[in-house]
């Protein structure tokens, strides 16, 4: 009886399942199957042609001792740290300006600030490549006009990560500004009025009122920015090709090179799962810190 009842309910709701079926079909063929297949590949050596050779945990053991992987992991962590300590504070500051009652033409200002985000990564990277060109780039021209020495931004192992970091900041600040601005809209302005009456300055209002009331949104930005930074690819690939000397290469770029230039598909899959594991550990740690903080605040 229960089986028949379940079957009848499914049959009655067949139109609903028909409409949502395309999503699940696409998910199965373009996400679930590649996910499982890449896991299988990580235990094999395969160039994409010929027979696959089972190697067990050899790819993972190679990854642990791979000096180049450790280098690109360090590069990616550098992008993450620089992005976190700059993007979220700048986004918070800009969102606070947009949310200020004294700002005129708020919609126009908000639109202009958001424009960098609608530009594709590749197009923005090509523009930044021209700006930071060591011979004719506008950045070095401006530096020379100040009497300073032009710098080889894109061809120096010491400086190559700086233009990429600036590009990431310039491109992502508008998006996180919009997210934080949506959170600021939910804060009652009476809190700020009361703080002003008590003599609190702008910095005190930011620390004592704004940040605590939107801490959940800031934490969401922290997690999504972490994921975004660990999966960057277009920025270093278009600006420096990961060079010079792999000094600006990211993890995803290293995965791409192994998979589609060296045709080490098994090892590339291993890099992909190592990246997923890193993101899982970092996100779990961030979530645990946030839960602990919320419990302390509720207490």
What pLDDT, on the 0 to 100 scale, is given for residue 270? 94
Q: Is residue 54 part of a domain?
A: no
Tell whether 24 is covered by a domain: yes
d(Cα 109, Cα 88) in Å, to the nearest integer? 19
Is residue 263 assigned to a domain? yes
pLDDT attached to residue 121: 86
Structural domain harbouring 23? 2-41
**85 and 181 inside one domain:** yes
Q: Which H or E element spans position 76?
A: helix 67-99
State the pLDDT at residue 78: 95
Residues in Cβ contact with 83 at an 8 Å cutoff, skipping those fewer than 6 apart: 165, 168, 169, 172, 225, 228, 229
Paired tokens of 133: 């060109």
* Domain identity same for 119 and 259: yes
One domain, residues 13 and 125: no
What is the structure's pLDDT at 296? 65
Same-domain status, 32 and 165: no
Check whether residue 74 and residue 168 sit in a common domain: yes
- Spacing of C-alpha 219 from chain mean position: 14
Same domain (yes/no): 27, 168: no
Is residue 114 assigned to a domain?
yes
Whether residues 255 and 145 share a domain: the answer is: yes
Q: Are residues 166 and 21 in the same domain?
A: no
Same domain, 121 and 155: yes
Q: Are residues 22 and 165 in the same domain?
A: no
- Report if residue 122 sits inside a domain: yes
What is residue 37's predicted lDDT score, i.e. its pLDDT? 92
pLDDT at 267: 93
Residue carrying structure tokens 């970091």? 165
pLDDT for 298 equals 60
Query: Per-block average pLDDT, block size 10, for the chain (299 residues)?
Result: 65 80 88 90 88 90 92 94 94 88 79 87 89 88 89 90 94 93 84 80 83 86 90 89 90 92 91 91 82 66
Does one domain contain both 8 and 137?
no
CA atoms of 3 and 252, how far apart (whole Å): 47
The reply to whether 50 falls in a domain is no
Q: Tens of pLDDT along 151-170?
A: 999 988 999 999 999 999 99
252, part of any domain: yes
Total number of domains constituting the chain: 2
Q: Is residue 127 part of a domain?
A: yes
In the prediction, which pLDDT does 1 show?
Answer: 47
What is d(CA 274, CA 280) in angstroms, rounded to the nearest whole number? 10
Same domain, 126 and 167: yes
Indicate the pTM of the whole model: 0.87
Q: What is the CATH number of the domain that holds 162?
A: 1.10.3720.10
Secondary structure E strands in the chain: 44-45, 53-54
């Amino acid at each position: 009886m229960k089986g028949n009842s379940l079957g009848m309910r499914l049959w009655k709701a067949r139109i609903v399942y028909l409409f949502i079926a395309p999503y699940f079909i696409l998910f199965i063929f373009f996400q679930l199957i590649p996910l499982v297949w890449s896991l299988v590949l990580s235990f094999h050596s395969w160039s994409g042609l010929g027979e696959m050779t089972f190697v067990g945990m050899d790819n993972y053991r190679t990854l642990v001792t791979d000096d180049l992987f450790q280098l690109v992991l360090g590069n990616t962590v550098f992008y993450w740290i620089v992005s976190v300590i700059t993007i979220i504070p700048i986004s918070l500051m800009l969102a606070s300006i947009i949310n200020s009652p004294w700002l005129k033409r708020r919609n126009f200002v908000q639109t202009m600030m958001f424009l960098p985000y609608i530009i594709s990564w590749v197009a923005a990277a090509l523009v930044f490549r021209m700006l930071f060109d060591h011979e004719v780039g506008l950045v070095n021209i401006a530096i020379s006009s100040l009497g300073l020495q032009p710098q080889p931004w894109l061809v120096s192992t010491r400086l190559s990560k700086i233009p990429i970091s600036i590009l990431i900041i310039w491109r992502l600040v508008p998006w996180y500004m919009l997210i934080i601005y949506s959170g600021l809209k939910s804060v009652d302005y009476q809190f700020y009025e009361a703080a002003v009456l008590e003599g609190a300055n702008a910095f005190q209002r930011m620390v004592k009122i704004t940040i605590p009331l939107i801490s959940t949104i800031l934490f969401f930005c922290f997690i999504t920015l972490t994921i975004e930074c660990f999966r960057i690819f277009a920025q270093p690939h278009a600006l420096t090709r990961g060079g010079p000397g792999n000094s600006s290469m990211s993890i995803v770029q290293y995965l791409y090179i192994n998979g589609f230039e060296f045709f080490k598909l098994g090892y590339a899959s291993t890099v992909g799962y190592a990246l997923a594991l890193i993101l899982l550990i970092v996100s779990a740690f961030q979530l645990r810190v946030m839960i602990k903080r919320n419990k302390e605040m509720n207490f």
